[in-house]
Copies of this chain bind each other. A is one copy, B any other.
Amino acid sequence: MTTIPRQVRVVEVGPRDGLQNEKTIIPTAAKLRFIELLNTAGFPEIEVTSFVSPKAIPQLADAAEVFPAVAQQPGTRYSVLVPNERGMARAVAAGVAAIAVFTAASESFTRANINMTIAESIAAFRPVVATARAAGMHVRGYISTAFGCPYEGAVAPAQVVRVAAELLALGVDELSIGDTIGVATPNQVTDLVPLLAEQAGLDRLALHFHDTRGTALANVLAALHLGVSTFDSAAGGVGGCPYAPGAAGNLATEDLLYMLHGMGIQTGIDLAAVVRASSYLATIVQRPLTSKYLQAAISARQTDIP
């Protein structure tokens, strides 16, 4: 056990990983307003959108309109997901300076999600990452289903390590290790993270938990004890889980910040500003979001009960 980090980097993925699971198309202006409100919170990084095929994810078809319209704040990195060279060309045209590529630790999931083998997905990223590095862009590599797969069940840590090695060899700056279907428990974090930390270094490791079974914050706590200091989350817990409609998806940024700040860990992020952004988004998606902190904050506002 190392000492818990005194400072944590929270990467806000709501505009991309959150919104991409929303069925009803959200107007571009509403996305921009949501990001504008997030901008007031002071995140070190916001994942703005994805330059995937508009056919694959119609919700993010407006990526080329959204990205340039964001009023970029100093101190915040604005990143986007890029699936292939075509997406990369669109991202470059939109003025993007930080990208993320994505594969998974499970062959079945990669096949179902992007219709490639893991090796094919890595090969497809090779020219994308090369272009990005040549342009001095920051590159993040996502590994989905690192703690469990909806098709294969358990995923061996060795398989995650193998995929991580290939992404690192491509030249990614950072790995984000995802519990895509929200099945992880803290012992899995304790089993996997030291292997990845040895490989990539703690500074290049982000964890991306989903809260589908309520364990996300416990997993964050386990990871903090291992020295991890970057976590992904989505304002309001927006997004749900595509593999369990109606269930919770991304770890909610509010819940994460509440715990970190309560533990005396600095993030530089204004929790109240995140609540305002999520409260706005809830009016757009027209349903309550899953963040428990948000629900408590809204309730307190409505009732004046302490």
CB distance from A6 to the nearest CB of B (A): 12
B186 and A259 within 8 A (CB): yes
Given A212-B292, A292-B212: A185 touches B298 (CB 8 Å cut-off): no
| Bound-complex Cα distance A244 to B305 (A) | 7
Given A185-B263, A262-B188: A295 touches B217 (CB 8 Å cut-off): no
B244 and A213 within 8 A (CB): no
| Bound-complex Cα distance A153 to B196 (A) | 40
Residue of A259, A292, A300, A305 with highest tally of chain B CB at under 10 A: A292
Interface residue range, chain A:
35 or more
Residue of A245, A252, A259, A300 with highest tally of chain B CB at under 10 A: A259
| Nearest opposing residue in chain B for A262, CB measure | B185
Answer yes or no: A40 CB below 8 A from chain B CBs. no
Q: Which of A80-116 contact B (CB under 8 A)?
A: none
Q: A211 contacts which chain B residues (CB < 8 A)?
A: 214, 292
| Bound-complex Cα distance A203 to B166 (A) | 48
Q: Which of A52-60, A133-141, A218-226 faces chain B?
A: A218-226
Answer yes or no: A255 CB below 8 A from chain B CBs. yes
| Nearest opposing residue in chain B for A303, CB measure | B245
Answer yes or no: A201 CB below 8 A from chain B CBs. no
A298 and B259 within 8 A (CB): no
Q: A217 contacts which chain B residues (CB < 8 A)?
A: 214-215, 217-218
Which of B185, B187, B263 makes the CB contact (< 8 A) with A187?
B263
| Bound-complex Cα distance A262 to B183 (A) | 9
Q: A220 contacts which chain B residues (CB < 8 A)?
A: 218
Q: A185 contacts which chain B residues (CB < 8 A)?
A: 258-259, 262-263
B218 and A259 within 8 A (CB): yes
Which of B243, B290, B296 makes the CB contact (< 8 A) with A241?
B296
Q: A291 contacts which chain B residues (CB < 8 A)?
A: 214
Which of B187, B222, B259, B306 makes the CB contact (< 8 A) with A264?
B187
B212 and A243 within 8 A (CB): no
Query: Please, could you name 26 A-B residue pairs with CB atoms under 8 Å apart, sorted by A?
Result: A151-B306, A184-B262, A185-B258, A187-B262, A187-B263, A211-B214, A211-B292, A212-B292, A213-B292, A213-B296, A214-B291, A214-B292, A214-B293, A215-B259, A217-B217, A218-B220, A218-B221, A218-B259, A221-B222, A241-B296, A243-B306, A244-B299, A244-B303, A247-B295, A247-B296, A248-B292
A interface, CB within 8 angstroms of B: 1, 150-151, 182-188, 211-215, 217-218, 220-222, 241, 243-248, 252, 255, 258-259, 262-264, 290-293, 295-296, 298-300, 302-303, 305-306
Q: With contacts A184-B262, A187-B264, A215-B217 known, what are 6 further pairs, Cβ within 8 A? A: A182-B296, A212-B296, A213-B293, A218-B259, A241-B296, A245-B302
